[in-house]
């Protein structure tokens, strides 16, 4: 399949937003209210069933709020997340040196199912591949080698995200790059799994229907209550 090179031009239903940079306001705006690969495990269980739990419900209302307000609330950035940003740069450098060069793009969307799914890849590889980097604590990196590397299996924590990324991008494979400073780099290749992807599509479609129904109920409630609209206050912190 021919992939597009710039946002605003389409090949099939895949749209690559090459001009977006992850973490920027523009990137956040592009993702606002959209179900994305990094959150898909909230709505699909490890047994490939549609989730019905408190985390799934909370995510539904979070995305619904974003669609209504057009605003993404700030999230806490942990030490692990900060470490992961530095580790990702190093991991991609090593991958490019020893495996293949990568191309950075901010966001990919696909709307072929009647709703839109999003994915923020850590890199594209050639015309067919993706790369997904994970910064790991050393105990998990050791476990990855012992349990997953020889058999070529993807750790369960990342399987749904990677399959969603392959589904959205319509690419042929994705290399999981597991990095832990001071330990060997682990690279495990994943290919599209039709059973997992069918479960993702089914769960996402049901999720979107419930989002649409909840939005209609919200609008009815606001109209009946005669609610007063408020203004969002932006507070600047001066250091």
Radius of gyration of the chain (CA): 19
CA-nearest of 155, 167, 76 to 119 is 167
Domain range summary for the chain, segments of one domain joined by +: 14-225
Residue 83's CB is within 10 A of a number of other CB atoms, namely 13
Q: What's phi and psi for 96, nearest 5 deg?
A: -65, -35
Q: What pLDDT, on the 0 to 100 scale, is given for residue 19?
A: 87
Whether the predicted pLDDT of 66 surpasses 60: yes
Domain 14-225 has CATH 3.40.50.920: no
Q: What's phi and psi for 126, nearest 5 deg?
A: 60, -145
44: Cβ–Cβ under 8 A, 6 or more apart, which residues?
50, 51, 160, 199, 200, 203
Q: What is the pLDDT of residues 163-205, one digit of tens each?
A: 999 999 999 999 999 999 999 999 999 999 999 999 999 999 9
Query: Taking the mean position of all CA atoms in its chain, how far away is CA 148?
Result: 22
Is the distance from CB of 121 to CB of 45 less than 8 angstroms? no
- Exposed, middle or buried, 123 (CB in 10 Å: 0-12/13-18/19+)? buried
Model pTM? 0.89
Q: What is the pLDDT of residues 9-51, one digit of tens each?
A: 445 799 999 888 888 889 999 999 999 999 999 999 989 999 9
Q: Where are the alpha helices (DSSP H) in 18-108?
A: 25-31, 54-69, 79-98
153/116 Cα distance (integer angstroms): 28
Locate 64 and state its tokens. 């619904």
């Amino acid at each position: 399949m021919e992939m597009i090179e710039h946002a605003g031009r389409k090949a099939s239903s895949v749209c690559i937003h090459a001009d977006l940079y992850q973490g920027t306001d523009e990137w956040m705006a592009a993702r606002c209210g959209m179900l994305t690969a990094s959150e898909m495990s909230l709505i699909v269980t490890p047994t490939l069933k549609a989730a019905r739990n408190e985390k799934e419900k909370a995510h539904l209302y979070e995305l619904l709020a974003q669609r209504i307000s057009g605003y993404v609330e700030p999230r806490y950035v942990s030490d692990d997340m900060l470490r992961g940003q530095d580790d990702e740069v190093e991991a991609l450098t090593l991958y490019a040196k020893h495996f293949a060069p990568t191309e950075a793009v901010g966001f990919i969307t696909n709307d072929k199912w009647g709703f839109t799914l999003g994915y923020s890849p850590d890199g594209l590889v050639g015309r067919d591949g993706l790369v997904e980097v994970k910064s790991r604590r050393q105990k998990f990196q050791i476990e990855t080698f012992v349990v997953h590397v020889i058999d070529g299996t993807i750790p369960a924590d990342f399987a749904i995200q990677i399959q969603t990324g392959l589904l959205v991008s319509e690419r042929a494979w994705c290399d999981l790059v597991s990095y832990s400073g001071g330990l060997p780099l682990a690279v495990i290749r994943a290919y599209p799994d039709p059973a997992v992807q069918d479960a993702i599509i089914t769960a996402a479609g049901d999720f979107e229907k419930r989002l649409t129904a909840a939005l209609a109920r919200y609008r009815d409630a606001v109209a009946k209550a005669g609610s007063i609209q408020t203004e969002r206050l932006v507070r600047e912190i001066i250091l």
